[in-house]
Amino acid sequence: MKALKMKLVNFERVEPISLGNLPPYFAIVAPYKGRDILVAYADRTKGMELYSAYVSGLFSEKQDNFLFPQFSRPDDDPVNLIFSREFYPDINDSEKEKKRLSNLVFIWSGYCTEIQKFNIQKQFDSYSNEIFELIKKSYIVNDEIQKQNGEVDFHLYDIQEKITYSLEEYVAILIYPAINYSTQYKARKKNKIKNMGYLFLIYIVFTTIMLLFLYFQIKI
């Protein structure tokens, strides 16, 4: 009996940059070979989840209302995204052959107001050029590493590490304010729910007293 042989299709894959020193609630998308791909995250599972939400269009267009808060699980945060003001070529394009231009996309999970989202947008626009260049350099270095055919070039790994650290510094400027906004929102939301509970309790007590008062008035 002949063994079945599976023919493997060769394809080029971009390894996303893992920014493990940052919180896991974000992902970055960049253009590559005519499509938008996931290029950076802190946690693979969360990064894939956010990227899937972006591709599927499952992101938040409007934030939760402070007056009428939604009752949801703590881990069920809305997905937000912003596009860079600048357009960029594919990360594998050379300077001579710039074809398709597209935005960088920053995706994160958490609550924020429109003003807070605008503040993150301004920061993203300020540093998107640096972020793109670092992502592109990482792609080039990783491509060189793959061509080593088993040989270890520590210089390339050292460059890759420096690129990762630099990218973490820029992304930190975006993700930490986003987390802070979401934490503040949840604290305000919790206080509003607590205050609404107190008001409801006062209403119940007041209604009970009034009913008892009317009951004894009728009895007399």
pLDDT in tens, 49-71: 999 999 988 766 554 443 333 33
6: in domain: no
Q: Are 33 and 81 in contact (CB under 8 A)?
A: no
Q: What is the pLDDT of residues 100-117, one digit of tens each?
A: 789 999 999 999 999 999
202: in domain: no
Instruction: List the domain range (segments joined by +) for residue 80.
Output: 17-179
**pLDDT at 83 (0 to 100):** 95
Instruction: Name the strands in the sheet holding 79-83, side by side, starting at the edge strand that comes first in the sequence.
Output: 17-18, 35-41, 26-32, 105-109, 79-83
Domain count of the chain?
1
199: in domain: no
Q: What is the pLDDT of residues 112-152, one digit of tens each?
A: 999 999 999 999 999 999 999 999 999 988 888 777 776 66
Per-residue confidence at 219, pLDDT binned at 50, 70, 90? low
Q: Are 135 and 102 in contact (CB under 8 A)?
A: no
62: in domain: yes
195: in domain: no
41: in domain: yes
Q: Is the pLDDT of residue 1 over 50?
A: no
94: in domain: yes
184: in domain: no
